[in-house]
Amino acid sequence: MNKNTVAIIFDSATKAPAITLLAALVEHHTLPIYITDSGKWLFYDSLTDNMKDCSWEKFGTNAILSPDKTHGGILRLVGDRYKALSCDVVWLLTQSINVSALCEMAELACITEAPKRTKPAILRQIDAACGGSK
């Protein structure tokens, strides 16, 4: 199985499955994007331990899922500019918004189902979404 870059988009209602998914993908490159209750999208690239009580929200940086396929997925605010963070698949754990249309426009693979219970099954879900190979 390939090590694909996975953007994981979640909110307060889906925080527990996101933490489980991030732990299962520790050997993969992940782009965790948290949608706050007020609708702000935050990228956070540190340990998942700080996600449990949301104290990490103050350290997250603004993020956008770009529908422009030339960006390759996520735009992260760095200083006063956005930096493109390419991803192979977007895993949507939130049902509060419809992001799948943005994924389709950006030509990104999108997983909308809940993660399976085991790491090998999760990796198969990612592999299937990415067409079996990178």
For 3-34, write each residue's pLDDT tens digit: 789 999 988 888 888 888 888 888 888 899 98
Tell me which H or E stretch contains 126: helix 119-129
Question: What is the second-level CATH architecture of the domain 6-129?
Answer: 3-Layer(aba) Sandwich (3.40)
User: Exposed e or buried b for every residue in 26-63, given b needs 16+ CB within 10 A?
Assistant: eebebbbbbbeeeeebbbbeeebeebeeeebeeebeeb
Per-residue pLDDT at 2? 60
Please answer whether residues 93 and 17 qualify as being in contact, where contact means their C-beta atoms are separated by less than 8 angstroms: yes
- Segment 116-133, tens digit of pLDDT: 888 899 999 999 998 864
Query: Does the pTM exceed 0.75?
Result: yes
Each domain of the chain, given as residue ranges in start order, spans 6-129
Rg of the chain's alpha carbons, rounded to an integer?
A: 14
Per-residue pLDDT at 132? 63
